[in-house]
Copies of this chain bind each other. A is one copy, B any other.
Amino acid sequence: MRPNISPSLLASLMLATSPASCLALTLDNARLTVAIDDASGALTVTEKSSGRTWGPDPWEGAAGILEADAGPASRSWNISRSGAVRVEAIGALGARIRFSNGTGEAGGPPWSLSMDVAIAPDEARLILRLAEWARADGLGQAKLFYPRHAFALKTDAERGAAVLPYWQGAIIPSYIFPMNGGRFCMWDDAQHERGAVGELRYYGWDGLVMPWFGTHDDKAAAMAVVPRDGSVGLQWVANYNSYHEVARRQHRRTTLPRILALTPVWHLPDARPGTEMSYFFLPGSDHVGMAKRYRQIARDSGLLVTLKEKAEANPDVEKLRGAIYTGIYGGYPHYLNMPGMAFDFEDLEAIIRNMHENQNVTRAIIHAWGTFENYPPNPWPISEALGGPVSLRRVVTRAKSYGWLFSSYHSFVSLLDHDPKYDIGLAPKDDQGRPALGMRWKAVDETRWAELARATLPREIEAIGQNADITDIAFTGRVGDGGRRLADYLASTGLVLGTERGNEWLVPQYHMFEGMVAPYRETPLARYSHPAPLFNLVYHDAVANFGKIQDPNHLASNLSGDYYVKTLRAMLHGDGPMVFISPYEYEGIKPYLRFAAEFLCPIHESIAFEEMTAHAYLSEDALVQRSRFANGVEILVNLGPTPWKSPIDGELPGYGFRVKKTDGSALAGRFRHSAKIDSRDWDF
């Protein structure tokens, strides 16, 4: 199933109306007023039920900024000042605003652009459409930041947040608040450096995972929904005042206010005339309200296919409920039979058996990294050195007999330069017909992906009878038709499907994602934001999420926090438990597996197929959070060491939690560090 292309609401509103010239213009319906400044073309918007009014760009009053390549350098224009601005009404609810370069201050080659602006007749929705973009030959690729800094918040003066579906999701508060001093130093500093400004597009490895973003304060939220083709991206300004740019260019201290702002970025010419986006205004709403409004859009687009629906088509999908995602890494796909890391199939069977018989694991997804004789993109044949297909079939049969899922590791898109069978013929070609070699993991021409999967996967299924498929890498970034054909082929196998990181377009076909969690590498954005379960608020009941293999839940290797923090966050977000180990680590991970099996799995089992209905930050430092699921389960966690108390919720110790179950009963507990030294014990 594919998302539908929604027809242009704006086009239908404007149909058969003719432009009429005017000097000032206000669009108005029962919910919204949009005033268009006749001099600048900038917008002032009021959401009526909350009474919230947002003025134009707090820095320059600019309707937008246009940046374009102009020869070796790039040029930039404030489109409100680069030439005359013309505003024309189009019907009662729309207008066309024309901007150009010519008579204004900045000079440079001529260009002109028009934006159509309209409001929906019966909804607090503002629609923006690029109507015209014309440029001189001297101008190359361009970016239009429009409407610039719309719905921005003044730092510390206006209390709210920016909401970005980056990885699982993030929010940036517009104000300072108490937190650990060390973290505060990094957080505040990062908002005073150039990394306070950044851009993202939908989608890609490190992009937006859903095509929306927004800001809110206590009164109302303004949420942008942009096209799924990635033509309109996002720029954020995280409580920044352009200090460095002003200092460098003007040798003085900035006088601009610090703002928290999200600006749509129209990538010209990817964004062609006709490209359209909308703002939805949601009184009294926050990140949850935005996600829920977007969930309606996702449903209307055909993206929201639930796990319950998927389980009707494939009963094996039920096995995801309460399963521990268990990655067992034998050095593959990096190396074959790596000394000290590779497992043989007897080792693998012993681990699976021990998990079941000794650690009380009742549900698991076994992901076995390293079962083949060849490197990707040719995962075949089953390795004889590790035990051969008959032996591996026995492993799979055992896993299935426990009611578990099993997949070997697959990539059909990689070329490793140390592979003795390296085939440069699989690389895509550049415009001169030469091999275009990039990153080793995603190196095969996309047109060949499905064919490579078809060449080996059916043979593997026949040999070992696995019931799941985890195909990595292919879907971490942006793909075209080749990627979609690979997904279609994999879906045709009837296996339970999982993949690395995941992307929204896979939701209708896929059952589990590995790593739709907090970003696991440091970025400025990760330094000054709170993780937020935005993807799960939209899709929790549609795809099961587990931790990122590079940042497994049982280790503290990254920004996402330690053992406890990752475990508590997984509970809060409704993600399944996960471990990712090399075989020699198995002994050390047994106690965590037993804990996960006995405590975490039953919680996940109860909510795995449920909608996440609510999420809130309860403490000022945002470390105490609560989520709710459609069947009534509530999960309250404290992600930090500081005890917390509230009149309503009572006391929660450091690293404590409370889970309200479907039957209304609750369980409460806490994690603790301890040291046992000779005859003494400490808990801390």
Using a CB–CB cutoff of 8 Å, the interface residues on chain A facing chain B are 176-186, 188-189, 192-193, 241, 243, 247-248, 251-254, 327-329, 331, 334-335, 338, 340-341, 369, 417, 422, 424, 430, 434-441, 521-522, 548-552, 554-559, 561-565, 580-582, 584-585, 587-589, 591-592, 594-595, 598-599, 620-621, 640-643, 654, 667-678, 680, 682-684
Contact = CB atoms under 8 A, between A and B. Distances in A.
B562 A178 contact: no
A437 B247 CA distance: 6
Given A551-B182, A582-B180, A654-B588, A677 B599 contact: yes
A180 B552 contact: yes
B556 A565 contact: yes
B251 A334 contact: no
Contact of A186 (B251, B439, B550): B550
Contacts of A591: 682-684
Contacts of A588: 640-643, 654
A643 B587 contact: yes
A592 B259 CA distance: 38
A182, A247, A522, A550, most chain B CB atoms within 10 A: A182
Contacts of A621: 584
B254 A584 contact: no
Contacts of A654: 588
B176 A247 contact: no
A564 to B, nearest CB: 7
B584 A642 contact: yes
B438 A247 contact: yes
B334 A252 contact: no
A669 B673 contact: no
A578 to B, nearest CB: 10
Given A417-B241, A563-B562, A641 B682 contact: no
Contact of A435 (B251, B565, B599): B251
Contact of A182 (B179, B580, B599): B580
Closest 3 CB pairs of A and B: A181-B329, A669-B677, A556-B562
A184 B588 CA distance: 17
Given A522-B522, A585-B640, A599-B682, 15 more contacts: A180-B585, A181-B329, A181-B580, A182-B329, A182-B552, A184-B334, A186-B550, A248-B437, A558-B559, A588-B641, A598-B682, A599-B677, A668-B678, A669-B676, A670-B676
Nearest to A563: B673
A559 B557 contact: yes
Contact of A675 (B248, B599, B642, B677): B599
A660 to B, nearest CB: 13
A193 B594 CA distance: 38
B673 A678 contact: no
A286 B678 CA distance: 34
Contacts of A522: 521-522, 558
A522 B654 CA distance: 27
Contacts of A677: 599, 667-670
Nearest to A241: B417
A180 B251 CA distance: 50
B673 A581 contact: no
Contacts of A188: 334
24 contacts: A180-B555, A180-B581, A181-B581, A182-B548, A182-B551, A182-B557, A183-B550, A183-B555, A184-B341, A248-B437, A251-B430, A252-B424, A253-B422, A253-B424, A522-B522, A522-B558, A558-B559, A562-B562, A588-B643, A592-B641, A599-B680, A669-B675, A669-B678, A674-B683
A243 B561 CA distance: 34
A554 B669 contact: no
A640 to B, nearest CB: 7
Contacts of A682: 591, 594-595, 598-599
B181 A417 contact: no
A192 B564 contact: no
A554 B561 CA distance: 12
A369 B181 contact: yes
Contacts of A252: 424, 435, 437
A13 to B, nearest CB: 45
A552 B667 CA distance: 32
A250 to B, nearest CB: 9
A331 B175 CA distance: 13
A233 to B, nearest CB: 24
Contacts of A592: 641, 673, 684
A598 B677 CA distance: 11
A180 to B, nearest CB: 6
Contact of A673 (B179, B438, B671): B671
A677 B596 CA distance: 13
Contacts of A341: 178, 181, 184
A182 B595 contact: no
Nearest to A547: B182
A550 B434 contact: no
Contacts of A668: 677-678
Nearest to A564: B673
A680 to B, nearest CB: 8
Contact of A184 (B248, B329, B558, B561): B329
A335 B641 contact: no
B243 A179 contact: no
Contacts of A556: 556, 561-563, 565
B184 A589 contact: no
A350 B582 CA distance: 48
A474 B340 CA distance: 47
A345 to B, nearest CB: 17
